[in-house]
């Protein structure tokens, strides 16, 4: 009986899959095209008067999103560990039109500090409309070259738990405002590129977690997942956890990793993200070349595996991996954004938040 029951379910699942491919996808493409052309352009959330908390706002994508929300008239709560960098971003956000900016020094991988960042925001503004869970760190090294494996728990702590903790404490307030959750996953969440095992795993965890949350929340709170590719930021300047488990800038490792892949402008990426967030899109993928890449990764993961091995392994022929040799041979580094081409690159230095006391607020 058990076997028959299982067989019925298996047949049913295959029938459902066939119907999805043959009927649902062709029809939904037409509906999506119609929505994209005639409905979505009209659906733009007004951000003036809204309160937005952004984690990882001291540099890169979080900083740029802060400016774009500010220019739309949103009030901000900016969270990160570097105090001076956050203060400068806050001042620039005020200049661009944010009526009020709250600066919150916190380590989002700490549940208590995340909770206090949300509480300070509610105490100050009385509400929260968007949570942008953006803070993250990168790692670029082959798994079998790691010399300090236990240090790599930090990737999951910041990228996964550092999104989950603020989300947990913000959710009641987002439900009250019928607000939005915006989370930074990555194209790495679906495309398993070599040398980024922990980063890829953390971004896949983020992707699946927030897709599950979306299924639980329905229309109560919108969930927009950003699945972008390489974008100019301190991360793509080479700031990453290296094989010894230390977070430092290594331009050589960055060059090997990025190879001839394009690195997009952070301003352009955030403009596309803002459009998607305001329309309530489920996913924002930019540049759009990552959409077909994600499709290939889903339908034929072995192709991604083969190409990734060919590009990044150092076993064949010795010396630098093909990705780096291709970068040098084509001179494609000249297409990197200007900030990434400097040698050495300029990273914002600041005292990291070493006081584990938690959140210190200023505005």
Ligand X SMILES: NC(=O)c1ccc[n+]([C@@H]2O[C@H](COP(=O)([O-])OP(=O)(O)OC[C@H]3O[C@@H](n4cnc5c(N)ncnc54)[C@H](OP(=O)(O)O)[C@@H]3O)[C@@H](O)[C@H]2O)c1
Would you name the residues annotated as active-site residues? 199
State which H helix or E strand residue 241 sits in. Answer: strand 239-241
Contact letters for ligand X, residues 86-115 (x by CB under 6 A): ---------------------xxx------
3-state DSSP assignment of residue 338: helix
Which of residues 58 and 323 has its CB atom nearest to ligand X in the complex? Answer: 58
* Total site size for ligand X, rule CB under 6 A: 31
Tokens of 358: 């938690």
Out of 74, 135, 205, 297, name the contact with ligand X by CB under 6 A: 135
Out of 66, 70, 78, 80, name the contact with ligand X by CB under 6 A: 80
Which of residues 4 and 344 has its CB atom nearest to ligand X in the complex? Answer: 344
Closest residue by Cα to residue 89 from 69, 126, 72, 64: 64
Closest residue by Cα to residue 181 from 238, 143, 219: 219
Min CB(184)–ligand X separation in Å? 4
Kindly give the residue spans of alpha helices, DSSP state H, lying in 197-356. 197-217, 251-258, 266-279, 290-299, 301-312, 322-330, 338-341
Using rule CB under 6 A, residue 258 touches ligand X: no
Backbone angles phi, psi at 246, to 5 degrees: -100, 140
Using rule CB under 6 A, residue 294 touches ligand X: no
Which of residues 122 and 207 has its CB atom nearest to ligand X in the complex? Answer: 207
DSSP string, 61-119: HHHHHHHHHHHTT-EEEEEES-HHHHHHHHHHHHHTT-S-EEEEE--TTSHHHHHHHHH
CB 236 within 8 A of CB 224: no
Which of residues 47 and 158 has its CB atom nearest to ligand X in the complex? Answer: 158
Query: Of the listed pieces 144-152, 226-234, 274-282, 311-319, which binds ligand X according to CB under 6 A?
Result: 226-234
Please report the sign of the dihedral spanned by the C-alpha atoms of residue 103, residue 52, residue 221, residue 272: negative
Query: Of the listed pieces 8-16, 81-89, 292-300, 335-343, which binds ligand X according to CB under 6 A?
Result: 81-89
Distant-in-sequence contacts of 322-331, Cβ < 8 A, 24+ apart: 322/259, 323/256, 323/257, 323/258, 323/259, 323/260, 324/255, 324/256, 324/259, 326/259, 326/260, 327/255, 327/258, 327/259, 327/260, 330/260
3-state DSSP assignment of residue 247: strand
Out of 120, 131, 162, 324, name the contact with ligand X by CB under 6 A: 162
Min CB(286)–ligand X separation in Å? 10
Using rule CB under 6 A, residue 190 touches ligand X: no
Which of residues 46 and 352 has its CB atom nearest to ligand X in the complex? Answer: 352
List of residues 6+ apart from 321 with CB closer than 8 A? 256, 311, 312, 313, 314
Using rule CB under 6 A, residue 287 touches ligand X: no
Out of 190, 233, 242, 294, name the contact with ligand X by CB under 6 A: 233
Backbone angles phi, psi at 80, to 5 degrees: -175, -175
Which of residues 79 and 311 has its CB atom nearest to ligand X in the complex? Answer: 79
Min CB(228)–ligand X separation in Å? 5
Min CB(58)–ligand X separation in Å? 4
Out of 77, 117, 137, 340, name the contact with ligand X by CB under 6 A: 137
3-state DSSP assignment of residue 24: helix
Min CB(97)–ligand X separation in Å? 21
Query: Of the listed pieces 2-10, 79-87, 291-299, 336-344, which binds ligand X according to CB under 6 A?
Result: 79-87
Using rule CB under 6 A, residue 75 touches ligand X: no
* Residues 50 to 69 in contact with ligand X, rule: CB under 6 A: 55-62
Which of residues 47 and 270 has its CB atom nearest to ligand X in the complex? Answer: 270
3-state DSSP assignment of residue 184: strand
Min CB(274)–ligand X separation in Å? 15
Closest residue by Cα to residue 191 from 323, 321, 295: 295
- Per CB under 6 A, residues contacting ligand X are 55-62, 80-82, 85, 107-109, 134-137, 158, 162, 184, 186, 228, 230-231, 233-236, 239
């Amino acid at each position: 009986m058990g076997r028959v029951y299982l067989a019925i379910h298996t047949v049913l699942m295959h029938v459902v899959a066939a119907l999805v491919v043959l009927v649902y996808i062709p029809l939904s493409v037409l509906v999506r095209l119609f929505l994209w052309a005639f409905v979505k352009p009209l659906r733009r959330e007004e951000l003036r008067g809204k309160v937005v908390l952004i984690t990882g706002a001291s540099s890169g994508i979080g900083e740029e999103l802060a400016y774009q929300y500010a220019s739309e008239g949103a009030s901000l709560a900016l969270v990160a560990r570097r105090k001076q960098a956050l203060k400068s971003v806050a001042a620039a956000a005020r200049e661009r039109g944010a009526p009020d900016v709250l600066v919150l020094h916190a380590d989002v991988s700490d549940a208590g500090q995340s909770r206090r960042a949300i509480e300070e925001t509610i105490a100050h503004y009385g509400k929260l409309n968007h949570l942008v869970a953006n803070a993250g760190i990168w790692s670029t090294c082959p798994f079998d070259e790691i010399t300090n494996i236990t240090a790599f728990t930090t990737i999951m702590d910041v990228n996964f738990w550092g999104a989950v903790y603020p989300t947990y404490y913000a959710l009641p307030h987002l439900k009250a405002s019928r607000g939005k959750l915006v989370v930074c996953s990555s194209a790495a969440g679906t495309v398993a590129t070599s040398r980024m095992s922990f980063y890829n795993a953390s971004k896949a965890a983020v992707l699946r977690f927030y897709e599950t949350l979306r299924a639980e929340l329905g229309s109560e709170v919108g969930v927009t997942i950003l699945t972008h590719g390489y974008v100019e930021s301190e991360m793509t300047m080479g700031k990453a956890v290296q094989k010894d488990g230390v977070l430092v800038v290594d331009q050589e490792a960055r060059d090997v990793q990025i190879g001839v892949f394009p690195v997009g402008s952070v301003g352009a990426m955030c403009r596309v993200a803002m459009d998607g967030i305001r329309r309530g899109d489920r996913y924002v993928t930019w540049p759009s070349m990552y959409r077909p890449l994600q499709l290939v990764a889903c339908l034929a993961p072995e192709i991604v595996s083969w190409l990734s091995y060919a590009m990044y392994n150092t076993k064949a022929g010795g010396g630098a991996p093909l990705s780096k040799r291709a970068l040098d041979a084509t001179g494609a580094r000249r297409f990197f954004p200007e900030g990434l081409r400097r040698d050495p690159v300029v990273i914002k230095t600041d005292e990291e938040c070493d006081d584990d006391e938690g959140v210190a607020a200023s505005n």
